[in-house]
Amino acid sequence: MANEILVKTGATQIRFCVTADFSPADPGTDYTLGSPTDVALTLSAVASAAGRQSLKVDLGATRAARYAVHAAVDYTGETPTATGYTEFYWAPTPVSTQGSGNVAGNSGADGAAPDGALGSITLDEFLKQCQYIGALFTHDGAVVQNGLVNPAFVPTERYGQMVVVNRGGDVYEADNVEMAVWMTPIVDEVQ
């Protein structure tokens, strides 16, 4: 009898957000499964064409090879452009220490991207050194923008930071109530 390969959702989802503030009014915008590992990422009031990076996270010594990535962002007055989007990147590193081994020498902290980077690197120069995950394209509906960013993202390193860049044509809401990024492990199981 041949083995079957089943695909299942991994044990621990990673949620990038401000834990104390995250409380979406619409359950349709919340992709949280079980008890996720929360990682600090402040998206409050990020201007259009600006970026934000999360605290460095450890995906684990034993981890999924692939992750489904979903996101929700909220624009001031729910007024993004119909042709806008939010970009998502992974700033990979093989080093566990927060302030060491980070892309462009950044701080490894939750901050404006590229927070604490060496020299005078611009956001766009920083992004060229990161791994592109995907984009969440906006529509002009007066709602929280949410959806699938990448169905099978493969991070290149165990450690890294989520980088979010607002290209929606408007500033994000000045709170973190309905904004988060989720990385849900996808596990292949042989039976």
Span 7-54, pLDDT tens digits? 767 779 999 999 999 999 988 899 999 999 999 999 999 999 999 999
- Measure the CA–CA gap between 132 and 188, rounded to whole angstroms: 23
Give the CA count within 13 Å in the CB-facing half-sphere of 131.
16
Instruction: Look up residue 69 and give its two tokens.
Output: 């990535």
Query: What is the DSSP track for the chain?
Result: ----EEEEE-S--EEEE-TTT---SSGGG----SSPEEEE---TTPPTT-EEEPPPEE--SS--SEEEEEEEE-BGGG---TT-EEEEEEEEES--STTSS-GGG--SSSEETTTT-STT--HHHHHTTSEEEEEEE--SSSS-EEEEEEEEE--SSSEEEEEEEEESSSPBPSS-TT-EEEEEEEEEEE-
Span 60-73, pLDDT tens digits? 999 999 999 999 99
Span 100-129, pLDDT tens digits? 999 999 999 999 999 999 999 999 999 999
Q: Specify the pairing of strand 14-17 against strand 37-40.
A: parallel
- CA-only gyration radius of the chain, Å: 16
Does position 190 have pLDDT exceeding 80, yes or no? no
